[in-house]
Amino acid sequence: MAKVNLLPWRAERRRERQQAFYVMLGVAFAIALAIGLGAWVYYNGQIDGENARNAYLTDQIKKLDAKIAEIDALDKKKETLLRRKDVIEQLQANRSQMVHLFDELVRTIPDGVRLTSVKQDGNKLTLQGYSQSNARVSAYMRNIEASGWMTNPDLNVIEASSGDKTLPYQFTLALTLTKPGQVLGPDGKPVLGPDGKPLMNPAPGAASGAASPAAVGAPPSAAASPAASSPAASPASGASSKGGAKP
């Protein structure tokens, strides 16, 4: 006898397929959720690592900025100390210059010349005074040129004055202060070397051990000043010429 299935098998099969589809859909959703969660955790870890690196770099940059500021402060302090050292060295080098200057003023001034004013501006010196004649001023300029501590005399003004009949001429003389053997430029200023210090000419007698009078600041010879070596010069005139300089 033939068996006939009268149950709704198609509906039950459809239901089984739907259940299988929902199961597969749930599994796919779970897998996608797991993959998305894993990606989120991974990228959050990467972001946290980059933030930690950035924080470390920021902290190191702050430390380097502090060290750079400290180095800048030390550089400024170094520059200040170097400037102070240069000033001290310059003062030390020029400490005896005034002594030699006044000694040279006394040695180079001829009879018949009296100084009334001495003004210094850096390495420039301005002398004002009175003289008996123009020849006395010329002799004074020759003595200055022969001096080791003064050079480049420049006569600015010389004119007749009615103040003192024995010294009828008033003059203003400009000159440059220097040191024996120092190299001067065309402008009358000392020529500086690569180390920033003035260049010095070698002494002519350095090889043989004999230093020249100009190199050691010796006074000019008597032949440079005929008026100063004249036996007829009165003591009173010489005393007035030597005692008339005012620093």
The answer to whether residue 242 scores a pLDDT higher than 70 is no
The ranges assigned to domains in the chain are 97-243
245 pLDDT band (50/70/90 cuts)?
very low
Which pLDDT belongs to residue 20?
92
What's the average model confidence in pLDDT over 121-129?
Answer: 87
pTM of the model: 0.42
Per cent of the chain over pLDDT 90 is: 30
Which pLDDT belongs to residue 247?
31
The answer to whether residue 12 scores a pLDDT higher than 50 is yes
Which pLDDT belongs to residue 240?
36
31 pLDDT band (50/70/90 cuts)?
very high
* 148, 183 Cβ separation under 8 angstroms: no
Residue 63 vs residue 95, higher pLDDT: 63
Three state DSSP letters for the chain: CCCCCCCCHHHHHHHHHHHHHHHHHHHHHHHHHHHHHHHHHHHHHHHHHHHHHHHHHHHHHHHHHHHHHHHHHHHHHHHHHHHHHHHHHHHHHCCCHHHHHHHHHHHHCCCCEEEEEEEEECCEEEEEEEECCHHHHHHHHHHHHHCCCEEEEEEEEEEECCCCCCCCEEEEEEEEECCCCECECCCCCECECCCCCECECCCCCCCCCCCCCCCCCCCCCHHHCHHHHCCCCCHHHHHHHHHCCCC
The answer to whether residue 122 scores a pLDDT higher than 70 is yes
Any idea what the Cα angle at residue 103 is, between residues 86 and 210, rounded to 5°?
80
- Beta partners for 21? none
Query: Is 97-243 a domain of CATH 3.30.1360.100?
Result: yes
pLDDT tens sequence across 199-236:
665 544 443 343 333 333 334 433 333 333 333 333 33
